[in-house]
Amino acid sequence: MFSIRKATLEDIPAIQQLARTIWQQTYTAIISQAQLDYMLDLFYSTELLQQLISQDTQSFFIALAEDTPIGYASYSIVSPQEIDTYKLHKLYVLTEKQHKGTGSALLQQVIDSAKEQKAKTLILNVNRQNTAIDFYKKKGFSILQTVDNEIGNGYYMNDYVMGLEMV
């Protein structure tokens, strides 16, 4: 069994540890170790996570099994001009805890929360080689476009943008 709750500033170290563990398991076959380290530093710095959580720029959820963190998710509105479109920024579950409903429950928590805020569409970016594409397709997402986003240091995120209509 597991539970899901809104993450707080106190959860930052747990989110960072989960990210390091999960990203090593997920991305070493897709991107170089140097790019993986760069992206972890870029997206999971303590300062950035403190800002996102304290200013409620992104809503974070953490999944726990017997008080042990096993996964997390975050989302936000895309922009003030697109008030009915939200973006799933992060959805990660420890490899050994996958295929047990945790990812589905985290995604549903995001969907329900976004719907409460009048969202009609949920989008996300996923690496084009990530097996999570199949998970998202099973959940009703479809591929909207292919993008190559430069993230600095000569690195790119080679992603699909996927979307789910929530009406």
In this predicted structure, what is the pLDDT of residue 2? 96
Share of the chain above pLDDT 70, in %: 100
DSSP state of 7: -
In this predicted structure, what is the pLDDT of residue 82? 82
In this predicted structure, what is the pLDDT of residue 72? 98
In this predicted structure, what is the pLDDT of residue 20? 98
Per-residue pLDDT reduced to its tens digit, 56-70:
889 999 999 999 999
Per-residue pLDDT reduced to its tens digit, 53-109:
998 889 999 999 999 999 999 999 998 888 899 999 999 999 999 999 999 999 999
Distance CA 12, CA 71 (A): 12
In this predicted structure, what is the pLDDT of residue 83? 85
In this predicted structure, what is the pLDDT of residue 56? 86
CATH, range 3-165: 3.40.630.30
14-17 own/partner pairs: CB under 8 Å, 24+ apart: 14/62, 14/69, 15/44, 15/49, 15/60, 15/62, 15/69, 15/72, 16/44, 16/46, 16/49, 17/69
Sign of the Cα torsion 129, 92, 161, 152 reads negative
Burial tier of 106 (Cβ tally within 10 Å: 0-12, 13-18, 19+): buried
Alpha helix (H) residue ranges in 117-161: 132-138
Apex 75 CA angle, 125 and 154, nearest 5:
40
Per-residue confidence band for 135, with pLDDT thresholds at 50, 70 and 90: very high
Instruction: Report pTM.
Output: 0.95
Distance CA 157, CA 31 (A): 9
Domain ranges of the chain: 3-165
| The pLDDT of residue 134 is above 90 | yes
| The pLDDT of residue 153 is above 90 | yes
Residue 125 near residue 160 (C-beta atoms within 8 A)? yes
Average pLDDT over all residues of the chain: 96
